[in-house]
Structure 1
Amino acid sequence: MKSSLTYLLTACYAAAVASQPTGSSDKLGHERSLIQVGESHIPIWMMEQEVLGLIRSKKTFMDITGNNLLPAMVYPTEPRQKAVVQEIHQLLSPDSMRIFLTTFSSFPNRYCRSHYGVKSSDWLYNTVAELIKNNRGTLNRRVPHRRISQQSIVVRIEGQGNLASEVVVVGAHQDSINQANPYMGRSPGADDDGSGSTTIFETLSALLRAQYQPARSLEFHWYAGEEIGLVGSQDIAQDYANRNVNVRAMLQLDMTGFTDHSGNMGIVTDFVHPELTQFTRQLVHTYSNLTALDFQCGYACSDHASWSKYGFPSAMPFESNEMELNPYIHSDKDTVETVDFDHMLQFAKIATGFAVELTHTSE
């Protein structure tokens, strides 16, 4: 989990859109277009002659007039695969999650540029490989990144039939950080984000044991380098955008294990897809015993923001509706003893519902 930052570009974009209606016209009746000449440039309204001037000067640009950076998607109006999901829920185990997280949080740290960040990633990759080795149609791969030594991990369960080219992603980040001493400081990262990494591993394990065959392809991602700026997830989301991968939905689980035992959890409402977020609320209500409360986590608070940045729909449930509820993260005190595995189990149930509901139906 990253600290909140100001999303200046989006604020300027919103201001530009608000200042002129889509496809607006000047007083002479000439239509204006909202033009962006680079990713870091603020979009501006231009008349046709100004746009032609860009063309003549061989300047590349995008006309984003009327663009919704979050694509229109149709999701089920309510969960429809309850029998399938609840059967798979029987295979989820808090004890299994405890075993996984105890080892995963035993490395001195999982900092993405440290020796231990590589060792922990190797352990995770080998553990995932062992889990899926006998499951036909399931592949795993490592994704290297230019500026960090830790690699992201992707597992894909190939979809069946004519929906196989569409992809549903469930993600978490594998790295941890001790803010006082990233390379050498102890950072077990049990909650941040060992809990999310464990939750999606348990979800994958249950789906495989149930021999679930998705219609859409289903991927599980463990991202490297989230703590230093969403490095791993940005690389992957950008690659998917460049290759026009049809990502139907992305769920990010960043911290699922710390609770005040109020029965509440959080649903992030900023930098997410509103319709997918609404469907996620329904999943919480249907498949868990938690109460979902809305909150904002700020720009780039976790890897869901990378997917939104590249135009893919994302959603993020969180362990509570308070970003700072867990006082131990980013320190040597974020240990396995501080997490609640029954709380994590509820998130595994939500993730299972997300995976099945969105890969099973034709909507």
Structure 2
Amino acid sequence: MRLKSLAPVVVSLCCATASAESRDKEVFITIGSEAVTAVRASFRAAGSAPTLVKEANGVSVLKLTESQLGDVSAIMHDQYHRCAGFMAHDTQEAALAALTPAQPTQSLVSYTLDNAAVVNGLFSGLQEASLRSTIVQLSSYTNRYYNNSTGGTQAASWLKSAWESYATGRSDVSVQLYTHSGWTQPSVIATITGEVFPNEVVVIGGHLDSINITVGSSSRPTASAPGADDDASGVATLSEVFRVAMAKGYKPARTVKFMAYAAEEVGLYGSQAIAQAYKSAGTNVVGVLQLDMTNYRGSTAEVTLVTDNTNAAQNAFLGNLIDTYTGYSRTNITCGYGCSDHASWTAQGYPASIPFEALMNQDNPFIHTADDTLANSTDGTTTNNANNALKFARIGAAYLAELGKGTLPGQPTDTQAPSVSLTAPASGATVNGTTSITATATDNVGVNKVEFLVDGVVKGTSFSSPYSFAWDSRTVANGSHTVAAKAHDSAGNNATTAARTVTVANVSTSGTYDTTLRTLRCTAAAATCDSGTLFNGRGTMGPETNTPNTLRGTCGDGSSGTYKSDESVEALKVSTVDGSNFAAGKQVKVEASIWAYASPSSDRLDLYYTANATATTPVWTLLTTLTPAAAGAQTLSATYTLPSGANQAVRAQFRYGTGSPSSACVSNEYNDRDDLVFAVQ
């Protein structure tokens, strides 16, 4: 083990258990900035106001103690009608990272309504009595608080056993307790492996824990908190969908996971842990449905769809499902930052939606108290039933069938492959820059997706007509290459076009060393400027020549460490997005190939640009700061618009340390900077 300078060593202890609450640990939350004043004022009256760490993009980071999380829940409930309403983090670094809006991790799937037989088959098995029985059972655990060593864990164990009984005899189904190191209550996950697209994952979730906000923090683990509506109803709703799917012999095309999350009420802890783990593992989650409070009709509209911190395209799909298969009246609402577990998935870039039981100021008034019982749930006319939750079970079943696709036993088998034709580029065409590959495809049931292949390898996927892919031909060498299209349907049938040969002819330049500027320079305006291998290494580590390769040699490299073990910039490339020559106003992509340290979360890549590389003292503008996803070799990138200037440059600063850079030349013995100069016409 080596120790690096200028970086703190952080020991992160996860959430305290009930037996260790005396060690009330420091935690951080992200919360909508509009609520910060109210939260801090409420705590200030008690002499313990949380510290405001940072605010950005309408979200604030507060530092407080773990025992105060339940009190934050109480404030958000009383003043903003929100369930949770914040996200808890064990470290300041994790909280600060949450201030940056997430980018989608994958393309959305095709949202089609073509599986009505399965939808209707599932509908026929849904039962109010079964749903009600699950709500009764879960709310019988007087308290399901996340660090309650009895009710919270007992409820999870019972649910696991119930789900296992539903799936008896199904080798393609597994049920597991997802344990969390920081508290006693586990999450519960049931998985049905997809038969056609097992690596595409659909998630249907709700939260298992409950809370009583009317008592102090020391009493919360044991105070009465039946949580019949919040959220035994949501868990019972998804559990009923799972039960019927098993009873009907449903076989999904995509892998489907039913999740009952721990620790939602204290900052979405459980769902955050799972969503972050899936993101780290590169799991292709194509859709998430959250069911949180489904059994209290408080508004004229039968269903409300949350539009903030959710995915607009999936929301539209969900609305179409409701209209097509249920006819329930609906309207849109907003619920604020971190109001339920869908926010954990949204924060990781996954498409998530949440249908809710009422307008925010008309929802169940009994939640978070000892009176959140089935007797206080209503379908708008009567109480003590699960009629309202049954509506949401139908929505969940329709979502399962139309996003998970798949079949029920006895349905006709689709054996007909799609028809697919490549429409562009033409055979023998010469291409350069970004080239559009297009195709048409039809199927007797429905086209699931069209993949585009270059030299036999899938390079892009389109999920809806018109099917197309913007291929950056600069990613391959100049010369002959083949392109083709492959269409799939939801039954796993596919067809591929004959390959077409095209000639790639891109104008690009490799940088050569400029003795005046003391780094690599592309002197002719082109579509690409590339350092090649001349930046490999750092300082005295590795084969880098002409080190430090920064403008006029003004920013030196750190000299500590080992090549291909410690940080280094290996290559730098800039290219226009549309494949034309560099010119003011053009969108360009900057790609930095780096070697990250074994603990990549401690590294940061700063990308800068300057409009005048030949100036004695260039003015650097920070484009972005990126964190490596893993240790070792990888390429990170960003885009920007070229300003005016005949000789411009980009800088990659790869440094050991977190937070924002203090300058374009941060001093550290492990840091590396390289500049690439290019001509702009």
Q: TM-score, normalised by structure 2?
A: 0.44
Structure 2 gaps of 5+ residues are 1-29, 34-54, 61-92, 380-385, 407-447, 449-462, 464-681
Partner of 2:271: 233
RMSD: 2.4
Aligned structure 1 segments of 4 or more residues deviating by more than 6 angstroms: none
Judged with a 3 Å threshold, the aligned counterparts in structure 2 of structure 1 residues 42 and 312 are, in CA distance, closer, same or farther, namely closer
Q: Which SS does the other structure have where 2:259 is aligned?
A: strand
1:202-245: per-residue Cα shift (whole Å, max 9, x none)?
Answer: 00011111111111101100000000110110010011001000
Judged with a 3 Å threshold, the aligned counterparts in structure 2 of structure 1 residues 43 and 101 are, in CA distance, closer, same or farther, namely closer
Note if contact 1:105-1:188 (Cα within 8 Å) is conserved in structure 2: yes
- Residue 183 of structure 1 and its aligned partner are, at CA, apart by 1.5
Find the aligned partners of 1:179 and 1:112 in 2 and give their Cα distance: 14
Find the aligned partners of 1:12 and 1:42 in 2 and give their Cα distance: 11
Partner of 1:6: 32
Structure 1 gaps of 5+ residues are 14-37, 45-61
Note if contact 1:75-1:279 (Cα within 8 Å) is conserved in structure 2: no
Q: Describe how 1:211-290 pairs up with structure 2 within 5 A.
A: 211-260=249-298, 262-290=300-328
- Residue 267 of structure 1 and its aligned partner are, at CA, apart by 0.3
Find the aligned partners of 2:121 and 2:228 in 1 and give their Cα distance: 28
Partner of 1:127: 162
Letter in 2 for 1:137: D
Partner of 1:180: 214
Find the aligned partners of 1:5 and 1:291 in 2 and give their Cα distance: 31
Partner of 2:387: 342
- Residue 41 of structure 1 and its aligned partner are, at CA, apart by 4.5
Note if contact 1:75-1:276 (Cα within 8 Å) is conserved in structure 2: no
- Residue 101 of structure 1 and its aligned partner are, at CA, apart by 1.1
- Residue 260 of structure 1 and its aligned partner are, at CA, apart by 2.9
Find the aligned partners of 1:151 and 1:39 in 2 and give their Cα distance: 22
- Residue 11 of structure 1 and its aligned partner are, at CA, apart by 3.0
Find the aligned partners of 2:249 and 2:294 in 1 and give their Cα distance: 25
1:104-162: per-residue Cα shift (whole Å, max 9, x none)?
Answer: 1111111111121112222112222222232220001111112210000110000013x
Find the aligned partners of 1:326 and 1:298 in 2 and give their Cα distance: 17
Note if contact 1:266-1:322 (Cα within 8 Å) is conserved in structure 2: no
Which structure has more RCO (C-alpha within 8 Å, separation ≥ 6)? 1
Note if contact 1:9-1:40 (Cα within 8 Å) is conserved in structure 2: no
- Residue 68 of structure 1 and its aligned partner are, at CA, apart by 3.8
Q: Which SS does the other structure have where 2:185 is aligned?
A: strand
State the aligned residue count.
Answer: 314
Q: Which SS does the other structure have where 2:184 is aligned?
A: strand
Highest Rg: 1 or 2? 2
Partner of 2:134: 100
Partner of 1:308: 346
Partner of 2:235: 197
Matched, 1:90 2:124: yes
Range 335-344 or range 345-354, more displaced:
335-344
Letter in 2 for 1:297: C
- Residue 342 of structure 1 and its aligned partner are, at CA, apart by 1.7
Matched, 1:359 2:393: no
Q: Which SS does the other structure have where 2:257 is aligned?
A: strand
Letter in 2 for 1:294: N
Find the aligned partners of 1:321 and 1:342 in 2 and give their Cα distance: 18
Find the aligned partners of 1:129 and 1:12 in 2 and give their Cα distance: 40
Letter in 2 for 1:164: P
Q: Which SS does the other structure have where 2:209 is aligned?
A: coil
Note if contact 1:69-1:311 (Cα within 8 Å) is conserved in structure 2: yes
Find the aligned partners of 1:344 and 1:285 in 2 and give their Cα distance: 17
Task: Report sequence identity in percent.
Answer: 32
Matched, 1:147 2:182: yes
Find the aligned partners of 1:237 and 1:11 in 2 and give their Cα distance: 22
Q: TM-score, normalised by structure 1?
A: 0.81
Letter in 2 for 1:288: T
Matched, 1:321 2:359: yes
Find the aligned partners of 1:317 and 1:43 in 2 and give their Cα distance: 24
Q: Which SS does the other structure have where 1:149 is aligned?
A: coil
